[in-house]
C-alpha cells in the first residue's frame, strides 16, 4: 500500500464522522522505485491532505517532507522528488490502519489493506 | 413489446491476441506491441476466485476497442471494482501504461482471496496497482470523490436468490440477486460519485439486467451511454456499456417519477445512440 492510497482511505464504519486520516502502524515496509511524472504530481497535489502525508511518511521513517506545502513549491525539482518518493515509492507491506474515532484496526497484509466491515459496523 | 437489443457475435480481439501470444511465444524476443493485455498463462487462480471468462474477455475487448479514446483523455486515476483474478486491471494497466505516463491504478474486491490473486497477477506482469479489500469502494469513496477517470466493472450480474448476494468466496463474483441488479444498483451511485468530469465507466451487463433501464438511470444522473461490445455466448448475451458525463444530457431531479407507459419508455429509449443504431 502506497501513501497515495493511505491519503485516499478513510474509516467507513457506520456513524463515524471523523474517519480521516487513518493512523498508520507499520511493521514492514519496502521501497519500489518508479518513474517520476511531474504532471501527475502537479495534478494530484491539490487533492492530497498534506499533513496526513507528512505524518504517514514519518511513520515510514521518511522525514524529508516539509510540514507545510503550497502549489508554488511544485516548481522545485527537489520538492517534486521528495513528494514523489513519499507518495508513490514507499509501500507498507505489513501493518494496520487505525480509525481515528473508534480505534478499530484495519489490517494490512502483503501490501493490501482490508477495509471489510463486520455486520454491526455497516 | 420486445425491448431486447440486437446482439451480434463479433470475433473476440482478446482471443485473437491470446492466440497471437501463443504463436509469438515460439519466437524470441516477444514483441512488446503484442503484450498489450494480460496473458492468461500469467493470471493466478484460486478455487474461490472467479477466473477470466467470456465476460472478462468482452470487457478487455471493449477497453482495447476504445483505447485511442481512453488515451486521448489522458487518464490519471483508474479503478476496477471487483477485480477478481486481476485479469482486467492488469490488462488496463498494460493498455494505458504506468507511472511514467502518469497513470495510477486502484483495484478493489470484497473477496480476500481475490485481492491476493490480483496482487500476484499484477506482479507476474510487472505492473503496479493499489489493491484494497473492500465492498465496492467503501473507505475510498469519500476522498476519491470526483477523481476517477476510468472505472471498470464486471459486476456480479447473474440473477440469483437475494440471500446469495455478497456471500463469502466465489459466489460473490456472480450472485446478483433479483434480475442480477442488486449489486449493480449499489455500484451506479458510487460510480457517479467517483467519476471525474471527464471520467467514464465501462460495465458488463447481461440482457436479464435490463441494460436499457440502467442507461436510463444513468441518464437521469447526466450520463450518455454507448454499447462498446455486444456478444452472445452459449449461456448469455453480454453487453459492455460505456457511460460518460454529457453536458447535453439533462440531469433529472432525484426522486422524480419514472415514466411507466409504453410510449414514454420508447420515446426515452429512442434518444439513445445505440438504440437508434440497432434499429437502423
Domains in chain B: boundaries? 13-249+257-279
The CATH number for A3-112, chosen from 3.40.50.10440, 2.20.25.10, 3.40.50.920, 3.40.50.300, is: 2.20.25.10
Give B147's contacts in chain A (Cβ within 8 Å).
47
Indicate the SS3 state at residue A45: helix
Q: Is the pLDDT of residue A19 over 90?
A: yes
- pLDDT band per the 50, 70, 90 thresholds, residue B236: confident
Q: Is the pLDDT of residue B278 over 60?
A: no
Q: Say yes or no for a CB contact (<8 Å) between B142 and A19.
A: yes
Shortest distance, CA A66 to any CA of chain B (angstroms):
22
Residues 6+ apart with CB under 8 A from B58: B12, B204, B229, B231, B238, B240
**CB-nearest partner of A8 from B100, B135, B144:** B144
Question: A110: alpha, beta or left, given left = phi > 0 and alpha = psi -120 to 50?
Answer: left
**Whole-number mean pLDDT of chain B?**
83
Question: B74: alpha, beta or left, given left = phi > 0 and alpha = psi -120 to 50?
Answer: left
Give the span between the Cα atoms of B221 and B148, in whole angstroms.
17
Confidence at residue A73, expressed as pLDDT on a 0 to 100 scale: 97
Q: Say yes or no for a CB contact (<8 Å) between A9 and B100.
A: no
Q: Say yes or no for a CB contact (<8 Å) between B134 and A10.
A: no
Query: A-side interface with B, Cβ within 8 Å?
Result: 1-2, 4-5, 7-12, 19-20, 32, 34-35, 37, 39-40, 43-44, 47, 49, 88, 110-117
Confidence at residue B99, expressed as pLDDT on a 0 to 100 scale: 76
Give B144's contacts in chain A (Cβ within 8 Å).
8
Q: Is the pLDDT of residue A32 over 50?
A: yes
pLDDT tens for B61-71 read 999 999 999 99
Are residues B156 and B175 in contact, defined by beta-carbon separation less than 8 angstroms? yes
Chain A residue with the nearest C-alpha to that of B131: A112
Q: Say yes or no for a CB contact (<8 Å) between B76 and A40.
A: yes
Q: Say yes or no for a CB contact (<8 Å) between A35 and B115.
A: no
**CB-nearest partner of B134 from A2, A4, A115:** A115
Q: Is the pLDDT of residue B26 over 50?
A: no
**Residues B188-206 as b or e (16 or more Cβ within 10 Å = b):** bebbbebbbeebbbbbbbb
Mean pLDDT of B13-28: 51
Give the span between the Cα atoms of B8 and B230, in whole angstroms.
6
Are residues A83 and A44 in contact, defined by beta-carbon separation less than 8 angstroms? no
Strand order in the sheet with A105-109: A23-31, A90-98, A105-109, A112-113
CATH 3.40.50.150 fits B13-249+257-279, yes or no: yes
Indicate the SS3 state at residue B203: strand
- The torsion angles phi and psi of B196, rounded to 5 degrees, stand at -75, 175
- pLDDT band per the 50, 70, 90 thresholds, residue B121: very high
Domain boundaries of chain A, sorted by first residue = 3-112
Are residues A11 and A100 in contact, defined by beta-carbon separation less than 8 angstroms? yes
Give B112's contacts in chain A (Cβ within 8 Å).
114, 116
Beta bridge partners of B242: B202, B226
**CB-nearest partner of A116 from B102, B134, B144:** B134
Q: Say yes or no for a CB contact (<8 Å) between B133 and A115.
A: yes
Give the span between the Cα atoms of A119 and A116, in whole angstroms.
10
- Quote the DSSP letter at residue B100: G
The candidate with the shortest Cα–Cα distance to B201, out of B244, B249, B240, B230, is B244
Give B119's contacts in chain A (Cβ within 8 Å).
110-112
Shortest distance, CA B275 to any CA of chain A (angstroms):
37
Give B101's contacts in chain A (Cβ within 8 Å).
37
Q: Which of A37-51, B6-20, B29-43, B195-209 has the lowest mean pLDDT?
A: B6-20
Mean pLDDT of B186-212: 97
| pLDDT above 70: percentage of residues in chain A | 100
Mean pLDDT of B94-122: 94
Q: Say yes or no for a CB contact (<8 Å) between B112 and A115.
A: no
B8 vs B220, residue with greater confidence:
B220
C-alpha cell at B163: 440471500
Give the span between the Cα atoms of B86 and B89, in whole angstroms.
6
Mean pLDDT of B2-29: 48
Shortest distance, CA A37 to any CA of chain B (angstroms):
6
Cα–Cα distances in angstroms (integers) from residue A59 to residues A10, A56, A92, in the given order: 17, 5, 10
Q: Is B70 exposed, middle or buried, given 0-12, 13-18 or 19+ CB atoms closer than 10 A? A: buried
- The torsion angles phi and psi of B99, rounded to 5 degrees, stand at -55, -40
C-alpha cell at B10: 463479433
Q: Where are the alpha helices (DSSP H) in chain B?
A: 13-24, 54-65, 67-72, 87-96, 112-124, 171-174, 182-194, 211-220, 262-269, 273-279
Amino acid at each position: 500500500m502506497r501513501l497515495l492510497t493511505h491519503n485516499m482511505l478513510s474509516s467507513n464504519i457506520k456513524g463515524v464522522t471523523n474517519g480521516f486520516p487513518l493512523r498508520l502502524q507499520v511493521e514492514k515496509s519496502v521501497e519500489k522505485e518508479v518513474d517520476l511524472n511531474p504532471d501527475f504530481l502537479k495534478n494530484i497535489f491539490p487533492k492530497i491532505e498534506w499533513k496526513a502525508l507528512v505524518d504517514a511518511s514519518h511513520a515510514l521513517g521518511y522525514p524529508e517532507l516539509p510540514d507545510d506545502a503550497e502549489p508554488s513549491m511544485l516548481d522545485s525539482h527537489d520538492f517534486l522528488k521528495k513528494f514523489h518518493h513519499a507518495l508513490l515509492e514507499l509501500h507498507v507491506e505489513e501493518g494496520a490502519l487505525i480509525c481515528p474515532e473508534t480505534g478499530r484496526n484495519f489490517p494490512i497484509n502483503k501490501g493490501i489493506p482490508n477495509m471489510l466491515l463486520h455486520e454491526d459496523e455497516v | 413489446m420486445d425491448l431486447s437489443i440486437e446482439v451480434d457475435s463479433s470475433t473476440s480481439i482478446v482471443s485473437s491476441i491470446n492466440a497471437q501470444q501463443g504463436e509469438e511465444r515460439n519466437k524470441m524476443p516477444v514483441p512488446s506491441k503484442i503484450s498489450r493485455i494480460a496473458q492468461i498463462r500469467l493470471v493466478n487462480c484460486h478455487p474461490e476466485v472467479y477466473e477470466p471468462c467470456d465476460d472478462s474477455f468482452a470487457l478487455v475487448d471493449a477497453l482495447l476497442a476504445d483505447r485511442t479514446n481512453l488515451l486521448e483523455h489522458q487518464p490519471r486515476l483508474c479503478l476496477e471494482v471487483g477485480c477478481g483474478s486481476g485479469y482486467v486491471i492488469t490488462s488496463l494497466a498494460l493498455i494505458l501504461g504506468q507511472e511514467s505516463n502518469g497513470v495510477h491504478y486502484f483495484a478493489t474486491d470484497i473477496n480476500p482471496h481475490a485481492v491476493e490473486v490480483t496482487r500476484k497477477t499484477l506482479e507476474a506482469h510487472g505492473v503496479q496497482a493499489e489493491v484494497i479489500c473492500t465492498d465496492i469502494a467503501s473507505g475510498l469513496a469519500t476522498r476519491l470523490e470526483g477523481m476517477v477517470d476510468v472505472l471498470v466493472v464486471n459486476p456480479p450480474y447473474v440473477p440469483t436468490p437475494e440471500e446469495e448476494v455478497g456471500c463469502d468466496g466465489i459466489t460473490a463474483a456472480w450472485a446478483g440477486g433479483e434480475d442480477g441488479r442488486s449489486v449493480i444498483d449499489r455500484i451506479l451511485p458510487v460510480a457517479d460519485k467517483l467519476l471525474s468530469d471527464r471520467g467514464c465507466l465501462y460495465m458488463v451487463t447481461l440482457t436479464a439486467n435490463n441494460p436499457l433501464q440502467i442507461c436510463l438511470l444513468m441518464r437521469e444522473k447526466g450520463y450518455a451511454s454507448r454499447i462498446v461490445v455486444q456478444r452472445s455466448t452459449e449461456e448469455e448475451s453480454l453487453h459492455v456499456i460505456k457511460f460518460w458525463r454529457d453536458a447535453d444530457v439533462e440531469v433529472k431531479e432525484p426522486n422524480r417519477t419514472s415514466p411507466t407507459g409504453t410510449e414514454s419508455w420508447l420515446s426515452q429509449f429512442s434518444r439513445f445512440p445505440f438504440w437508434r443504431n440497432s434499429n437502423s
